[in-house]
Structure 1
Amino acid sequence: MNTKSLITFLERDLNKLITEIELYKNEANIWRLEKNISNSAGNLTLHLIGNLHTFIGKEIGQTNYIRNRELEFSQKNVPRQTLINRINETIEMVNKSLISVTDKELNEDYPVLKFSKVESTEYLLIHLTIHLTYHLGQINYHRRLLDK
């Protein structure tokens, strides 16, 4: 896989994330929890933003991003437009950080030990893409379930 393909998938799904957030009829439902749902769509969105800014922005794009993972899951009632603005900033960061990554660099070890063993940058980027898609599906289900 090359960086152009990875950027395409990440950008596609981040734009789908914007669409999901926009589709909530009741903005308060973005932050709603019910029964066995342990994370709101808002908190999953903050988590995805933090995750991508950490592993792509900070480590590949050298953005000096400082992550507060606990806040990603505890912060509440961030306005819908603020979430959308942060997703758009994430799309921009992904493009800037990955546009110049070469195939050689994709095959090099990712600079931070994220898994039980050292993996390539390409492996990590594929993992991040799948992680985004996984939570995007949860957000879609959350919206359809709670925003009737």
Structure 2
Amino acid sequence: MLIQTLQSLFERDLKRLRSEIALYKNEQVIWHTEKGIANSAGNLCLHLVGNLNTYIGAQIGKTNYTRNRELEFSLKNVPRVELLKKIDETIIVVKTTLDQLPEDALQQEYPILVFAEKTSTGYFLIHLATHLSYHLGQINYHRRLLDV
């Protein structure tokens, strides 16, 4: 039951991420920062894609994804169409991985240590869903404030 709920939330919010990136009237603004706004929407998008492909795709789904976290925040001017493609691919990775995850795996220890203490896979997946939601809200505000 929890896996299906998580799938639904990840899919919903990744589709919202896709929509937010698509809604920018001026593609250049996706990469804009202002005083008090440390990260562009484009960099946050790359960060979310990297995060989910690492912690769900590579760690749970055993994909061959290799993360370069530094590039998530330093790359600039990736074309919108490429960002949208990365989001679409991430939706598939998350769905495929969670489709294959047995419910009892949620109580098992997450395969790598991410925080100061070990966590269950279920706890960490909930963390990833809230992390996605947090940055999605930042992207929404970024678009509404700067894409005028």
TM-score category by the smaller chain? over 0.9
Q: Hey, what does 1:122 align to over in structure 2?
A: 122
**Does 1:74 find its partner at 2:74?**
yes
Q: Which runs of 4+ in 1 moved over 6 A?
A: none
Unpaired stretches in structure 2, ≥5 consecutive residues: none
The alignment partner of 1:13 has SS state of helix
Map of 1:65-144 to 2, 5 A cutoff?
Answer: 65-144=65-144
Letter in 1 for 2:67: R
Query: Aligned Cα RMSD in Å?
Result: 0.7
Distance (Å, rounded) in 1 between the aligned partners of 2:22 and 2:71? 22
State TM-score, norm by structure 2.
0.98
Give, in angstroms, the shift of residue 115 of structure 1: 1.0
Q: Hey, what does 1:33 align to over in structure 2?
A: 33
Give, in angstroms, the shift of residue 69 of structure 1: 0.1
Distance (Å, rounded) in 2 between the aligned partners of 1:144 and 1:56? 30
Distance (Å, rounded) in 1 between the aligned partners of 2:61 and 2:80? 27
Give, in angstroms, the shift of residue 100 of structure 1: 1.7
Deviations 1:115-147 (A, max 9, x none): 111100000000000000000000000000001
Letter in 2 for 1:9: L
What is the identity percentage for the equivalent residue pairs of Structure 1 and Structure 2? 59
Unpaired stretches in structure 1, ≥5 consecutive residues: none
Give, in angstroms, the shift of residue 95 of structure 1: 0.7
Deviations 1:73-129 (A, max 9, x none): 000000111000000000000011110211211110001001111100000000000
Q: How many corresponding residue pairs?
A: 148
State TM-score, norm by structure 1.
0.98
